Chain A
């Protein structure tokens, strides 16, 4: 009887223990420090922070000037991601500095940076170090055609743009359907920037300008689609950085605002800000688009069980790799048809796309080139929105041994016949010479 009465309590304790362990597991890689410029941002941007918490992130909101700020304790990082919602901050409190933030990113951690037209030099230099060049100080993005016109608004600096990158990695299967309201500063991203993806651009009629100065000529002038409003950077160590030219686009006011596009008159009950901001923030924090890769394996087609230490020329080989996609904590097989593998010795001798079996296994069968030397498998995969895959495996290739060449060629039959006839004649003549009378 006593045991029965204690059973519910035991079950409750067990459930609590399991819950704590799950929470602990979920909290791995989900610790976020948010630095805000003014205390009002905590309330004015509460929906944004709540959406991160709903996705399982623990967000620690602190003032950018807090004297006790620190990103790491000795060599242990206290957070996995940093949000900087303090565009005017000239410097940060505690142990946080621009150098510390860059070191944070270099260590593989993530950064969300919101700027504005009057962003400080510290914020501008941070963005520049991450590969995004914000337009000059005092410039603002204008659009006299595609701006917010709901409730009679006429401000051309509160633009409404639907120029969003088409990326399944960032938005999944539900991209923002309504225009995004934006008020801030634009950036430009040169075509040579391999690591940057422009997530949000201005419409064709938008431009960035300081009314007190003369307007430069394009391409110096960020105009139309080249005015990058939100840029996503994925560093070579797969650390992610988001640079947004507006802090207001993350605010409750713009999340909840209805939209009427001035020129077209198109109306939307709610802006696309919440969907867009949540998606890019979750991508930046590593909740989407992360690829988990297994070890690269290779073998002869005739002997799949053994991974040889070297190949022979003209061998038929198969190379394989397991790739899975992690989204919202769920692991699914990665689907792609652009994952290439190269077989390289100084230059690539073979470069082909790998075949996907639908279960996350990518493989390729090919014939080893008829050139011997030290080759290596190289996989250098970059797809916008997904983690980079950079793998190399050295495999020597030897030439034919002396007894591996083709034999009994038709061209050799006369020679075989002459040797055989000599042997037969020798044997026959022995008999004839000795015993014939």
Chain B
């Protein structure tokens, strides 16, 4: 008896414990209170027919199409600046008009996956919802983005375990004025954000050197510059120039030294042009100049004396002949 009563008590306790477990809500995560209470039964979201209207920048209707979700109501419809698309629909929850928590238009760029512009649908009287998305709203979210955008409708509500999405078609935006530059969305996403701060390369453009005449021109003028020297040599040759008056003996030695000094000065001038500086040239010039002056004085004195003696001898010879 005692054992049976213990077993009965144990069974009752287990039943109470199971009942308590069933009464407690299922905890999925730790300390966060659920924003919405979980749905008691699985509801199904849906949408009836969709009306798509394209408006011009001045508000005039340009085209209207009606159909079901996932019908291509817009086939790469071009959207110029200021134009917008308005989508009207009635969301259904278990077949009855409802106001789902999420009712949005999404325009996803085909050229840049991950870049999507959104528009929130506003509930109207009678249960319908209207969402409009235009070039201005797209530019506000995605920057100057061009190309084809796939338009779809997103519906979701905590009452339904799964949302409903479907394609409405596609829009075509004009390409950005910047050409194929990367799009710059206003907010960063994990898939679209700057990787680095790489800037355009800059290479310095050096000043182009002044144009010079061809070397042939320089050679021609060099020939012209040397022509007078050539003419002088030819003229002296024609005149019958000789060095018969070169003195002999000591006078000749002074003459050689004198002309050597002149040649050395001319050579020093050339060296200064080629490699020397003034500090090393001036002392040498001073020395060579003094040497040339001294030897020149001696040479010219000896030459003068020699010519005077020759003139005297010639005068005496003329006097004797007369």
Contacts and interface: CB of A to CB of B under 8 A. Distances in A.
Interface of A: 37-38, 40-41, 44, 116-118, 138, 140, 142-145, 148-149, 153-158, 163-166, 183-184, 188-191, 193-194, 196-201, 204-205, 207, 209, 211, 215-219, 221-226, 228, 247-248, 251, 253-254, 262-263, 314, 338, 340, 342, 348-353, 367, 369-370, 380-384, 409-418, 421, 423-428, 430-432, 434-437
A430 to B, nearest CB: 7
Interface in B172-200: 184-200
A215 B269 contact: no
A353 B245 CA distance: 79
A365 to B, nearest CB: 13
A435 B306 CA distance: 12
A170 B39 CA distance: 39
Nearest to A45: B30
B303 A200 contact: no
B218 A410 contact: yes
A333 B291 CA distance: 72
B225 interface: yes
Given A224-B118, A338-B196, A219 B218 contact: no
B97 interface: no
A158 B29 contact: yes
Contact of B162 (A145, A351, A412, A414): A145
26 contacts: A116-B32, A138-B35, A140-B35, A197-B188, A201-B189, A204-B106, A217-B137, A218-B117, A219-B141, A224-B106, A228-B190, A263-B162, A338-B196, A349-B204, A350-B202, A352-B203, A369-B204, A411-B212, A411-B213, A411-B218, A412-B218, A413-B219, A414-B222, A418-B225, A427-B263, A432-B241
Contacts, number: 265
Main secondary structure of the interface of B (DSSP, over half): loop
B163 interface: yes
Interface size class of B (residues with CB under 8 A): 35 or more
Given A205-B154, A411-B213, A196 B188 contact: yes
Contacts of B303: 434
Contact of B189 (A224, A409, A423): A224
A140 B118 CA distance: 18
A435 B252 CA distance: 11
A202 to B, nearest CB: 9
Interface string B273-293: 000000000000000000000
B17 to A, nearest CB: 22
A149 B191 CA distance: 25
B156 A144 contact: yes
Of all A-B residue pairs in the complex, the 9 with the closest CB atoms, nearest first, are A144-B156, A225-B189, A144-B163, A201-B190, A414-B221, A421-B229, A417-B225, A226-B187, A351-B202
Contact of A218 (B119, B165, B229, B246): B119
A1 B198 CA distance: 70
B39 to A, nearest CB: 6
Given A224-B118, A432-B236, A348 B188 contact: no
- Name which of B116, B137, B219 has the most chain A CB atoms within 10 A of its CB: B116
Contacts of A138: 35
Given A215-B120, A340-B199, A431-B259, A153 B245 contact: no
Contact of A437 (B192, B195, B201, B245): B245
A334 B218 CA distance: 56
Contacts of A219: 140-141, 186-187
B263 A425 contact: no
A287 B108 CA distance: 37
A44 B30 contact: yes
B35 A251 contact: no
Contact of A190 (B101, B188, B222): B188
Contact of B195 (A340, A383, A416, A435): A383
B38 A225 contact: no
Nearest to A348: B202
